[in-house]
Structure 1
Amino acid sequence: MEILATSINWLVLAGAGLLAGFIDAIVGGGGLLSIPALLSVGMPAHLSLGTNKLASSMSSSTAAYTYYKKHLFDPRLWKKCFIATAVGAVVGSVLVYLIDGDLLEKILPVIVILVALYSLLFRKVLHGEFHPPKHRPRTKRQLLQGFILGSYDGFAGPGLGSMWIVSSRVLYKLSFLKSCALSRAMTFVSNIVALAIFIYHGNVDFAVGLLLGSSMMLGSYIGTHSAIRFGLPFIRPLFITMVIIIAIHLSWNAWT
């Protein structure tokens, strides 16, 4: 592969993937590093998006499995959410072709900024350690949350991890760590659906995707264990920082 022809390109992808996987495993937003890294080594934009979905699927699967092994996520409680997220991802992927791309670019920063403002103004979302009820999370809430956020990931995706964390805290009173775990599991679902669509259209470079995905898996493994070990004091500032960075990044691209 031309993209892997030099050791510098390999180091760029490996380094960016390691850091992207670390961030993605905790609060999401790793695509802000992995996609520019793919573009920087000469990969076309559409191919970068598809290849990044392969790498992101590998990373999110590692994070979700690690949280599961640490008993922070029980798939049996979230079956409806899995299904709704998958259906939403398909719907969102179709909507991409029906809505004006310029309008989308201007809407996305607003959505992410609203998430940031909500998180900062309603401090309990970030600072409180909730004690969730012991019964199964309500089906209607799972279906609504999964469909909306699955659609958003299929449609665009920036800031998705933050949206999963905030909405899970509000809807189910989950602890921050359990919200992170749910976020990674559902992101994996929507990533896989989107990846299948990119593969169908021939927009995935498997060699580069596997290389980037391997480094993201390592970063994800380190990130999840760091989050579990150091807890909320470690996650909270990283969460706030990434939401603000994503909002600035999207605003800059859309309005300048």
Structure 2
Amino acid sequence: MLAGVDMIYKILFLCLAGFLSAFVDSIAGGGGLISVPAYFMIGFPAHYSLGTNKFSATCGTLTSALSFAKSGKTDKDILKVLLPFTLIGSMTGTYIVMIINSEVLKPIIMAMLMAVGIYSFVAKSVGQEDNFVGVTKKNLIIGSVFAFIMGFYDGFFGPGTGSFLIFGLIKIYGFDFVRASGNAKAMNLVSGFTALAVFAISGKIYYLMGIPMAIFMIVGARVGSRLAIKNGSKIIRPIFIVMSLGVAVKMIYELTLM
């Protein structure tokens, strides 16, 4: 009986964490800062934490990606070129991580996330207006390279992918935060599904916990994406800065424990 009650409390805790994680992630990325530690807190082994989180988080990402697409905040002409590169990059990164220790990236990524967060805070105009002037051969080539790198990074390591995607799309295409977030979600979804397939094949997903959390992440993603679409850059920018710096601080903390 006590074991059953304990299981219910754990599921309720994960559902709450999942809702909050997806809410934040649908707006500015970085939801893994909340959801992954939640799995660790209830005693999940590392691989099951990452695998089960990837399952539930991908459900949330799919929801927010669809919400942005329905509101017209994604660019199909750009995504049809970029998404295949994201897929190839993610597959390559997931394969390489099996061979090389991804921990060597931590100091580099930590510094980059700090730079992105600080730059976005100081440069008040970044992402405030949509300055997209159209698709060109140059921005498609740069975007394709960027998509491959981000797909590779998400498959190889992962933390901060959402922040990097949003920031990169703003700089390459001149998007505002809302449009950048919409396109970033589509790219993140492709790389996420690739990693999810690897975890599923490896049997590292605990569906009894993952399915209830996925349901709450879907709800959180719907609420968050609608709020982002309605309120625009004024709500996305501050959350984006906080989550970018939050991931960097988490990585600094982990380095001090090594």
**TM-score band w.r.t. shorter chain:** over 0.9
Structure 1 residues 241 and 10: CA distance shift in structure 2, 3 A? same
Residue of structure 2 equivalent to 1:37: 38
Aligned length in residues:
254
- Percent identity over the alignment is 32
2:33/2:247 contact within 8 Å kept: yes
C-alpha contact 2:78 2:140 (8 A) present in aligned 1: no
Q: Distance in 2 between matches of 1:52 and 1:197?
A: 13
* Cα pair 2:130 2:174 within 8 Å, conserved: yes
Question: What stretches of structure 2 of length at least 5 have no aligned partner?
Answer: none
**Alpha-carbon offset, residue 141 of structure 1:** 1.9
Residues 56-205 of structure 1: matches in 2 within 5 Å? Answer: 56-126=57-127, 128-135=128-135, 138-205=139-206
Quote how far apart the aligned CAs of 1:121 are.
Answer: 4.2
The letter of the residue matching 2:41 is S
Residue 107 of structure 1 aligns to which amino acid in structure 2?
I
In structure 2, distance between residues paired with 1:215 and 1:197: 23
Distance in 2 of aligned mates of 1:3 and 1:87: 43
Q: Which moved more, 1:12-21 or 1:242-251?
A: 242-251
Shift of residue 69, structure 1, vs aligned partner: 0.7
Structure 1 position 4, deviation (Å): 8.5
Give ranges in structure 1 of 5+ residues lacking alignment: none
TM-score of the aligned structures, taking structure 2 as reference length: 0.92
Q: Which one-letter code corresponds to 2:130 in the other structure?
A: F
Query: Partner residue of 2:17?
Result: 16
CA distance in 2, matches of 1:102, 1:238: 26
Q: CA deviation at 1:156?
A: 1.2
- Determine the C-alpha separation between the residues in 1 that align with 2:15 and 2:245: 25
Given that residues 90 and 156 in structure 2 are in contact (C-alpha distance below 8 angstroms), is that contact kept between their aligned partners in structure 1? yes
Matched, 1:52 2:53: yes
2:210 equivalent to 1:227: no
Offset at residue 52 of structure 1 (A): 0.8
More deviation, 239-248/98-107: 98-107
Give secondary structure in 1 for the equivalent of 2:126: helix
Q: Counterpart of 2:237 in 1: which secondary structure?
A: helix
Matched residues in 2 for 1:3 and 1:52: separation?
22
Q: Does 1:241 align with 2:242?
A: yes
With the length of structure 1 as denominator, give the TM-score of the two structures. Answer: 0.92
